[in-house]
Chain A
Amino acid sequence: MAKVAEVVNLRYVYPGGVEALKSINLVLEKGTKVAIIGQNGSGKTTLAKHFNGLLKPTSGKVFVNGIDTATKSTGELARYVGYVFQNPNHQLFSKTVKEEIEFGLKNIGLKGEALRERLIETLDFFGLRPLAFKQPLSFSSGVRKLVALASVYAMRPPILFLDEPTTGQDHPGKVKIGQMIEKMAHEGHTIVVITHDMNFVSRFTERVVVMAQGEIIRDGTPAEIFADRETMEKAHIEPPQIFALARKLAEDGIEINALSPREMAAAFVSRGLTG
């Protein structure tokens, strides 16, 4: 698969002296949905901020589309790497959703017909057309999040980082974000989600990168990672309940690898474990 970004021996020390990342190596592939997980302070946000140049490596390199991020400003990298911050209130400032989306588009130099087309495409993609002329801050937190996401996705960055997209969201809100992630990945964008929401990870991502104390300690599919008890303990992560159940069943000699209740039910049925 084509690689869209690569991190080579990245080390980062904050000005205060905290060594937040120690020798990170990572390759991101086109059109994949990646989750970065790990406990508070493990370095997830620090790593993510290196992709669009918000932070520059203390040593090592980060390449995006073949460009060394140390040589470009964040504003210039915005067309390659989108970054949606946790709190949409830190981003939204316009009078209307339309203007909010246009902000990024103008920043990357779109104008005239191309701008209008992209705007409409984006509004439709997120189902925001009916709200186009409403004030973004007047919406519920779920819709604000969606507007923030739309305003970044509008620039069509090949890679899109979402920092804690599901915090403070109710179930429909999370599902909506999950669906958008699938849709964007389907369009060929690489989506990286930083999150503590393991159910969300197992449901909507296909690759999980586990971080602990500034290092990547494991990288694999959700099924592999969540079933790996040692990694879960090392990273202080509680796997989704379905994996806890699978583990209990495994102790009783029933081996089932299921990512969702439906899969598990199907496995039960196919093995004749009913009643």
Chain B
Amino acid sequence: MKNITLYQPGNSIFHYCDSRTKLVLILCFAVLAFLYFNPLIPLALMLVVLVLNVVATKSYALTNALTKLFLIIILFFLVIHGFTNPLGKTPAVFWGHPLTIPFFGTYTLEGAYYGLTFGFRIATVALITLLYVSTTHPIEVVRGLVKLGLPYNFGFMILMSLQLIPISNREAKTIISAQRARGLVEHNLWEKLKSLVPLFVPLVVSSLERMETMAMALEARGFGYTEHPTQLHEVKFTARDIIIIASAIILLVIGLVLRFKYGRLSWIDHLNSWGNIFWPG
């Protein structure tokens, strides 16, 4: 069965560190990505994050739908901003000619600069988040959030629903089989719509029944007896976590210092060729 969460089992350093450590990592990279206004630094950050992803989940890091989606989004930004960004003033040259399309205008270097900057920024944040969700078991995600102050009951509820997804999935399959065995065919859209009733009613009914049983079973085992139950698994920071957090924070501090000393490091006002976009000329 196709996995519903993005979690990829493995044994990289990111699989073993605390889920809160990875949240710190997300925060640092997100701030760094938006600190400067040029495509170069977000690109570097994005590549670093991609490498971290590959370290953690090997080929999955590059082949999953999310990574592909964000690479496409960068391309999309590059095209859209190139033609439409209001900052645009220097026409870009394609084999000796500027490129103009009706209604949108001319493709500009400023637009490309802007589009790439934003594309890389967003991809950086998305991919560092992917690192978090693909190396953290959903249970660990919730445990970390509970440690950070999410109410226990709320966290438990999320966990429960996560665990119910595969069960409901299997049940849905059985129900579909049961109705097909009764001659249900779904050739066209209308038949598909009609078939929703025989599929959904049993699914809802059996889910409700299971909830009820589960609620009783939980109460019978003392759930809700105290507001602050002891944890089944204590989550603790280890040396590994401290090293990761320390490196991330050092990087962030360096970034902030440079930002205050040298400003946004933007060269959007000095563009006159394609090469300028990545390096001030």
Contact = CB atoms under 8 A, between A and B. Distances in A.
Given A90-B174, A90-B175, A152 B181 contact: yes
Interface in B17-67: none
Interface string B189-220: 00000000110111001100100000000000
Interface string B206-243: 10010000000000000000000000000000000000
Contacts of B202: 89-93
Interface of chain B, helix or strand or loop or mixed? helix
A93 B200 CA distance: 8
Range of interface residues on B (Cβ < 8 Å): 20 to 34
A137 B182 contact: no
Contacts of A49: 177
A87 B186 CA distance: 23
A104 B198 CA distance: 11
Interface in A74-91: 74-76, 78-79, 81-83, 85, 87, 89-91
B184 interface: yes
A244 interface: no
A135 to B, nearest CB: 11
B140 interface: no
B163 interface: no
A137 B201 CA distance: 11
B201 A78 contact: no
B149 interface: no
Interface in B140-190: 171, 174-175, 177-186
Contact of B171 (A54, A90, A107): A90
Given A49-B177, A78-B183, A82-B181, 16 more contacts: A73-B185, A76-B185, A78-B180, A82-B182, A83-B178, A83-B181, A85-B174, A85-B177, A85-B181, A89-B209, A91-B202, A93-B198, A93-B201, A107-B182, A107-B184, A152-B181
23 contacts: A49-B177, A52-B181, A54-B177, A73-B180, A74-B177, A75-B185, A82-B181, A89-B202, A89-B205, A89-B209, A90-B206, A91-B175, A91-B178, A91-B179, A91-B202, A92-B201, A93-B200, A93-B202, A93-B205, A107-B185, A151-B182, A152-B182, A155-B183
Question: Which 5 interchain pairs have the tightest Cβ spacing?
Answer: A107-B183, A75-B185, A93-B201, A78-B183, A83-B181
Interface of A: 49, 52, 54, 73-76, 78-79, 81-83, 85, 87, 89-93, 103-104, 107-108, 137, 151-152, 155
